[in-house]
């Protein structure tokens, strides 16, 4: 209704609940008012109308100072806000449901490369980023909701692991934590920051989870495969460079033999025949692989010596009194025994029995020619007089490593098989034959007291320490627990 000469109100004839429109009048200086402030409000000077209650109407009036006024009927259309569950993280590759209680609208996404939405309100994360989800009614009322998609890459890596062995899983999105929970924790474990999986229970599957700080989770099922049973390696623990090869065996058939250091000794992959190459220590491994591709191993430490002779006549210096006899511990026959000074020590050419004659030093040699060529060995004999104390001349040859286990900080001490000054090489190797420590040491009067400090970067486990002094070899196993 129009009163006086005031202008007509112009603007939209409807407004959505929770949204705004602006009304105008060409006559300046008027005041805006509403007949139903619970249905729609209006700014008294701006003419901005806000819808409050849907499905109803309100009269908006514009009044001039001359008391002239004009009224405008405005319809408020219903529209509920869009609801996107806030407790569920929106992640790449995951879905959630958006909803609006006002029926009849159409869903859309402003950026479908970030997220898509179906006709029923199902939002699917496509890539990390932000998009606006719209719900539009036939009246034109639109509900908007901003949606952020958090990054989450799928887990990559092997889908199976052998029992008691490891695989590594990866996720391209950094910063997450790996877990194996519930029953899965008894089937396979996983390092929370490394993704290293260890199989625990064969013929079962574990569900492993990678969780980001945003709450986004990626999951992968890993099967644990059985490992074959392998027997213990049997056979000699030493082989000589110049002697015959040794043969190792295992009750489990079908495996393969390998040497940790072929510069020390070689082994036939199918035969277990070990041939000495150079003096030192190494590890021989026997591996058995089943149809699942899982492998079990057994290992044996082998010492490679310089000759095939026994402990009483090989690899060392021996001491005896005048008139005393020392039988040779030698399993080989056909060789010849010779002393380089029969006035100091005599030796039976056939049996190798040594007799002390007079104080001094003599070298006893054994030479044998056979199918493998000529082999020889020399032992130094120190002869002491009968008047000397037996404690003065007995060489125990005992060397110890303490403590064991240790943290890479230990003492090697004891006596070599000599009362003379000697030089020795102390070497520590891992179970694959790799040298991790080596030092030249002096044994004054045959005594060793060496402090060894290993690198703190070495992994825990079993190591071998060897001491080489002339023809003598001492070998120790010790456990590193840093």
Distances (CA, A) of 42 to 15, 46, 47, 56, 445: 12, 8, 6, 15, 109
What integer is the mean pLDDT of 2-20? Answer: 78
Fold of the 95-149 domain = Immunoglobulin-like (2.60.40)
| pLDDT tens-place string over residues 381-427 | 777 776 554 333 333 346 777 787 789 998 888 877 777 888 889 98
Domain 155-225 has CATH 2.60.40.1080: yes
pLDDT at 336 over 90: no
| pLDDT tens-place string over residues 234-284 | 998 888 776 678 899 999 999 999 999 999 899 999 999 999 888 778 999
What confidence tier does 369 reach under pLDDT thresholds 50, 70, 90? low
Fold of the 399-480 domain = Immunoglobulin-like (2.60.40)
pLDDT at 170 over 50: yes
pLDDT at 126 (0 to 100): 93
Say which residue the tokens 């009483």 belong to: 312
Report the candidate in 68, 66, 72, 60 with the shortest Cα–Cα distance to residue 6.
68
| pLDDT tens-place string over residues 198-217 | 999 999 999 999 999 988 99
What integer is the mean pLDDT of 85-108? Answer: 82
| In the chain, domain spans | 9-77, 95-149, 155-225, 238-305, 317-392, 399-480
User: Which CATH architecture describes the domain 238-305?
Assistant: Sandwich (2.60)
What integer is the mean pLDDT of 146-153? Answer: 90
Domain 317-392 has CATH 2.60.40.1080: yes
User: Which CATH architecture describes the domain 9-77?
Assistant: Sandwich (2.60)
pLDDT at 156 (0 to 100): 96
User: Do the domains 238-305 and 317-392 sit in the same CATH topology, yes or no?
Assistant: yes
Mean pLDDT of the chain: 83
Higher-confidence position of 458 and 140: 458
pLDDT at 194 (0 to 100): 95
pLDDT at 319 (0 to 100): 66
pLDDT at 297 (0 to 100): 93
């Amino acid at each position: 209704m129009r009163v006086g000469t005031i202008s007509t109100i112009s603007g939209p004839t409807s407004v959505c609940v929770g949204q705004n429109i602006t009304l105008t009048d060409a006559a300046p200086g008027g005041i805006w008012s509403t007949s139903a402030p619970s249905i729609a409000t209006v700014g008294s000077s701006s003419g901005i109308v806000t819808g409050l209650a849907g499905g109803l109407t309100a009269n908006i009036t514009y009044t001039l100072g001359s008391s002239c006024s004009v009224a405008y009927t405005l319809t408020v259309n219903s529209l509920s806000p869009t609801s996107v569950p806030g407790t569920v993280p929106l992640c790449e590759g995951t879905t959630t449901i958006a909803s609006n209680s006002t029926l009849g609208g159409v869903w859309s996404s402003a950026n479908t490369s970030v997220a898509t939405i179906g006709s029923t309100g199902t939002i699917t994360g496509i890539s990390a980023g932000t998009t606006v989800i719209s719900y539009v009614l036939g009246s034109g009322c639109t509900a908007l909701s901003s949606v952020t998609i958090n990054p989450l890459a799928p887990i990559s890596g092997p889908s199976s692991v052998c029992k008691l062995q490891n695989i590594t899983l990866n996720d391209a999105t950094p910063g997450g934590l790996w877990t194996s929970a519930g029953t899965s924790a008894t089937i396979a474990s996983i390092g929370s920051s490394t993704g290293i999986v260890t199989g625990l229970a064969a013929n079962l599957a574990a569900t492993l989870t990678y969780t980001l700080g945003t709450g986004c989770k990626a999951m992968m099922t890993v099967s644990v495969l059985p490992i074959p049973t392998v027997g213990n390696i049997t056979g000699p623990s030493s082989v000589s460079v110049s002697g015959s090869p040794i043969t190792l065996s295992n009750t489990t058939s079908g495996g393969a033999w390998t040497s940790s250091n072929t510069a020390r000794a070689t082994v036939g992959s199918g035969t277990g025949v070990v041939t000495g190459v150079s003096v030192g220590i190494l590890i021989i491994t026997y591996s058995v692989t089943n149809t699942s591709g899982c492998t079990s191993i057994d290992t044996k430490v082998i010492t490679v010596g310089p000759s095939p002779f026994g402990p009483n006549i090989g690899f060392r210096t021996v001491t005896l009194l005048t008139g005393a006899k020392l039988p040779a511990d030698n399993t080989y026959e056909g060789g010849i025994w010779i002393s380089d000074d029969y006035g100091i020590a005599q030796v039976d050419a056939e049996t190798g029995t040594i007799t002390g004659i007079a104080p001094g030093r003599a070298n006893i040699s054994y030479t044998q020619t056979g199918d493998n060529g000529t082999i020889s060995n020399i032992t130094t004999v120190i002869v002491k007089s009968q008047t000397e104390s037996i404690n003065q001349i007995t060489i125990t040859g005992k060397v110890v490593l303490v403590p064991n286990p240790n943290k890479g900080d230990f003492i090697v001490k004891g006596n070599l098989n000599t009362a003379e000054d000697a030089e020795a090489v102390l070497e520590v190797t891992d179970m694959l034959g790799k040298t991790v420590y080596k030092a030249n040491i002096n044994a004054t009067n045959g005594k060793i007291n060496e402090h060894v400090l290993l690198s703190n970067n070495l992994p825990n486990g079993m190591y071998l320490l060897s001491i080489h002094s002339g023809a003598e070899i001492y070998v120790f196993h010790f456990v590193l627990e840093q």
